[in-house]
């Protein structure tokens, strides 16, 4: 299968390039694992192909995770602030692959719930902790964080160690004057080395 247009020569890459030309931005093998970098708009088609193709059968959705690359100064596979990495398993091939999409603030990733029912909770968690919106799986309630929490804590600019305890009444703890802007006027210097709290 020595096709010059393939970057890895893998069956998965060839299938995607044949069926969905243009969907694949990059394919690479890193430390023995196959990474497929996919255009965000076509992630659902790519996932359906990987799941339903009789030679692939990536039917087992292990997880998906978000990564915030805003402080990353090394080489990247994709452009965009965040990456969502899907981790799929084929019991037929006994093989695990990673599918990645890039997303910026304000953009949406199509939800994979119609393809993999198991994607629902990981996507909710990514929304909760990174603020990445999944189209078709939009949430109004926090998943892991408290319901009245402001901001998305796994973003890189989000400080650790700087939070006050968010109580509504002043007599039960260090109260925050304005819950919508809990850190207004406060410096995080010496706590996390940053004063930028734009994530909240």
CA torsion through residues 79, 84, 90, 95, sign: positive
Question: How far apart, in whole angstroms, are the C-alpha atoms of residue 1 and residue 194?
Answer: 51
**What track of x and - describes contact with another protein for positions 138 through 167 (by CB under 8 A)?**
----xxxxx------xx---x-x-------
The yes or no reply on residue 95 touching another protein (CB under 8 A) is no
Nearer to another protein, 20 or 89 (CB): 89
Q: Please state, in angstroms and rounded to a whole number, the distance separating the CA atoms of residues 115 and 109.
A: 14
Report CA-CA distances (Å) from 166 to 150, 157, 178.
Answer: 10, 19, 10
- Compute the least distance from the CB of residue 99 to another protein, in Å: 13
Q: Which of 13, 49, 97, 116 binds another protein (CB under 8 A)?
A: 116
Binding range to another protein, per CB under 8 A, among 6-14, 37-45, 136-144, 168-176: 136-144
C-beta of 82: minimal distance to another protein in Å? Answer: 11
Q: What are phi and psi of 33, to 5 degrees?
A: -110, 145
Please give the radius of gyration of the chain, using alpha carbons only, rounded to the nearest integer. 20
- Of these, 129, 132, 176, 197, which contacts another protein (CB under 8 A)? 129
Whose Cβ is closer to another protein: residue 67's or residue 175's? 67
Nearest CA to 24 among 35, 33, 32?
35
């Amino acid at each position: 299968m020595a096709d010059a247009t393939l970057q890895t020569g893998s069956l998965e890459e060839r299938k995607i390039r044949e069926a969905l030309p243009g969907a694949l931005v990059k394919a690479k093998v890193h430390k023995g694992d196959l990474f497929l970098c996919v255009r965000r708009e076509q992630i659902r088609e790519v996932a359906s192909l990987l799941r339903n193709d009789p030679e692939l059968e990536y039917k087992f959705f292990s997880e998906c995770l978000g990564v915030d690359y805003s402080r990353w100064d090394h080489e990247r596979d994709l452009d965009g602030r965040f990456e969502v990495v899907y981790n799929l398993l084929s019991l037929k091939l006994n093989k695990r692959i990673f599918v990645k999409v890039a997303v910026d603030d304000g953009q949406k990733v199509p939800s994979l719930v119609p393809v993999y029912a198991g994607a629902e909770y990981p996507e909710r968690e990514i929304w909760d902790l990174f603020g990445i919106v999944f189209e078709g799986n939009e949430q109004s309630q926090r998943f892991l964080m408290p319901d009245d929490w402001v901001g998305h804590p796994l973003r890189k600019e989000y400080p650790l160690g700087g939070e006050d305890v968010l109580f509504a009444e002043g007599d039960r703890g260090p109260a925050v004057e304005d819950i919508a802007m809990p850190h207004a006027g406060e410096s995080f210097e010496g706590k996390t080395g940053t004063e930028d709290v734009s994530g909240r």
